[in-house]
Chain A
């Protein structure tokens, strides 16, 4: 190496080190809000969780009710649609539905609330757990369809061919070969969708008003009273615990299998 080349290389090596440091700093900065939120939620939520338990138990039950109802609607429909897309759909229909799924995933959830209000609430003339569940189901659907679709397509073609060669019809191949092979990942996807639904607030605001944990946090944030704030922190602690737990369990599931 001539001295010029060596010094140029030293400069580039230094630039590389600086860039690596910069990336690490970015990672550090991105954790700052995570740490801040966890600390505040635990510090403010934990002391007041006991005294607010009575009011919160109701809201927790409300959240569970709405989310379970929503999952009962979204999971079968979503898995069926995803499996159909991966196994059966002709290219053009599949492309169209995939496109619609992606777009639906990007629609702000508050608009889903508006639409469900227009269809369900106006017709039933009242806010209800069912209406809330409908809107959460619509939020969950694209996530479930997308995971089922992509994981089913990732199942090796040779497995399908082996089943078909043994004389299995396509529906048995799809249900008893493809689906079980892809199911650990699909389970994870569904749990992540459930976790997402637990945190969704906007579509519940005018469909299932004030009966769930999420909406309780929002209404209590808006009140000026310290009591309300304490209640909001306690509810936030419970909600974050639920969501983080679901996320951890979901990810643990795939790692084992």
Chain B
């Protein structure tokens, strides 16, 4: 190799390594801040349900539960709609509508999450409050509202990934089924979905990962309800060292959960193709 070639390889390798080390660096930094809390809190961090920075009691169980419940409700709401959109885009919808519908779904994904948060906090929450719980305590509603806005935000992820997975099913299979007299729904039900099953599970996992990590919208509607939102809400106002450290430990937990989901999803969506 001549000199420019070597220099080019050098820069490229450098940037690739920077990229990989950012991931490790993020994990390392969060761990470093979290370390005092890990040492001090020990197991009680995972088993305690009381999160009270004023009393230096940090139990993350309630946050984990909040994250789990909101994400599951969000997924339950957005899954049927997201898969419906995906099937519309891959098989059932008219071809002329696929492109505009795709762009609009992408637009839904492009709206910043603070704007979702603003809308949910100032429009959705009061409406729900007036309809469902006039004058009552707003606790359950915050959870419902957070789940609803998460469902909206997860929808484009599920729809887009599921569409890609469904479109990737070979056309031969579809044509074979159609030639045997299958209707379009039969093709989806008996050929496309079974063939794409792994990828669809991957889409669900990616959606779940997105819901777990989503921060700002939840922070606006239900402050401190989930793992990610508690960091956003409390970090800027955290006074004590131990509070910051405990928040970082929550972040570490969040990191582990989202990485696990994304790695699993990656193996499901692209088992061999991208390797």
Contacts and interface: CB of A to CB of B under 8 A. Distances in A.
Interface of A: 9, 12-13, 15-16, 18-20, 22-27, 29-31, 33-34, 36-37, 40-41, 77-78, 80-81, 83-85, 87-89, 93, 95-112, 114-115, 118-119, 138, 141-142, 145, 169-171, 174-175, 195-196, 198-202, 205-206, 209, 214, 217-218, 221-222, 229, 232-233, 236, 239-240, 243-244, 247, 251
A218 B88 contact: no
B112 A107 contact: no
Given A236-B118, A247-B107, 8 more contacts: A9-B181, A26-B85, A30-B159, A81-B15, A112-B26, A171-B8, A205-B235, A217-B114
A92 to B, nearest CB: 10
A98 B104 CA distance: 29
> Which interface residue of A9, A31, A96 has the most chain B CB atoms within 10 A?
A31
B9 interface: yes
B194 to A, nearest CB: 16
Contacts of A84: 9, 11-13, 15-16
B12 A80 contact: yes
B133 interface: no
A199 B110 contact: yes
Contact of A107 (B29, B122, B213, B231): B213
Contacts of A12: 183, 185-186
Interface of B: 2, 4-5, 7-9, 11-13, 15-20, 22-23, 25-26, 29-30, 32-33, 80-85, 87-88, 92-93, 101, 103-108, 110-119, 121-123, 152, 155, 159, 181, 183-186, 188-189, 206, 209, 212-216, 219-220, 223, 228, 231-232, 235-236, 247-248, 251, 254-255, 258-259, 261-263, 265-266, 274-275
B56 to A, nearest CB: 20
Contacts of A81: 12, 15-16, 18-19
A199 B85 contact: no
Main secondary structure of the interface of A (DSSP, over half): helix
A40 to B, nearest CB: 6
Given A84-B16, A97-B20, A170-B5, A108 B219 contact: no
Contacts of A247: 106-107, 110
Contacts of B103: 251
Nearest to A242: B112
B183 A88 contact: no
Contacts of B114: 199, 201, 214, 217-218, 221, 236, 239
Contact of B216 (A93, A102, A202): A202
B213 A108 contact: yes
14 contacts: A23-B92, A25-B84, A26-B83, A30-B159, A77-B19, A83-B12, A87-B12, A108-B258, A111-B251, A174-B8, A201-B114, A218-B216, A233-B122, A247-B107
B8 A104 contact: no
Contacts of B33: 114, 118
A31 to B, nearest CB: 6
A153 to B, nearest CB: 10
Contact of B113 (A20, A201, A222, A229): A201
Contact of A20 (B29, B119, B185): B185
Given A30-B85, A97-B19, A206 B263 contact: no
Contacts of B18: 77, 81
B8 A111 contact: no
Contacts of A251: 103
Given A77-B18, A199-B114, A229-B122, A115 B29 contact: yes
> Which interface residue of A13, A33, A118 has the most chain B CB atoms within 10 A?
A33
Nearest to A214: B114
Given A27-B85, A108-B213, A77 B15 contact: yes
B23 A103 contact: yes
Contact of B88 (A27, A33, A89, A145): A27
Nearest to B115: A236
Contact of B81 (A13, A30, A41, A110): A30
B259 A107 contact: yes
Contacts of A209: 236
A169 B6 CA distance: 11
A100 B81 contact: no
Given A26-B80, A104-B22, A240-B111, A233 B118 contact: yes
Q: Give 7 nearest A-B pairs by CB, closest first.
A: A26-B84, A84-B12, A199-B112, A108-B213, A106-B262, A16-B183, A16-B185
Contacts of A87: 12
A13 B183 contact: yes
Contacts of B19: 77, 81, 97, 100-101, 104, 141-142, 145
A138 B16 contact: no
A42 to B, nearest CB: 12
